[in-house]
Amino acid sequence: MICRRCLVSGRVQGVWYRGSTQRQAQRLGVTGHARNLADGRVEVLACGAPAAVDALCDWLWQGPVHAEVSDVRCTQVDTPAPAAFTTG
């Protein structure tokens, strides 16, 4: 089990980015959260099996149809894994 915190930049607010990330995470069996930040980025915490977390981190570059992702920066974090994936 690993956890990564990713900061996603670009046109990622107001385009259903968090909800799409939640659906993708649930498909992959990843827990964590996706939150809007005041500076326009989205913060994603992804916890789960390394291959599943890698797959979600790769997907963050794509996002939903109307998103325009310009950067994704992920770092490994030591945090207890949440029980589910939430948006907030």
The residue range of the domain holding 66 is 16-78
Q: Does 36 participate in catalysis according to the annotation?
A: yes
Is residue 59, in this structure, part of any structural domain at all? yes
**85-87 and 31-36 beta bridge pairing:** parallel
Q: Quick check: 81 pLDDT over 90?
A: no
Contact 82, 32 (CB under 8 A): yes
Strand order in the sheet with 31-36: 68-76, 2-11, 42-48, 31-36, 85-87
Q: Does 18 participate in catalysis according to the annotation?
A: yes
Digit-coded pLDDT (tens) for 11-70 = 999 999 999 999 999 999 999 999 999 999 999 999 999 999 999 999 999 999 999 999
Catalytic residue among 18, 27, 35, 73: 18
CATH of the domain at 65: 3.30.70.100
Give the three-class secondary structure for 76.
Answer: strand
Tell me how far apart the alpha carbons of residues 65 and 1 are, in angstroms, rounded to a whole number: 30
The total number of structural domains in the chain stands at: 1
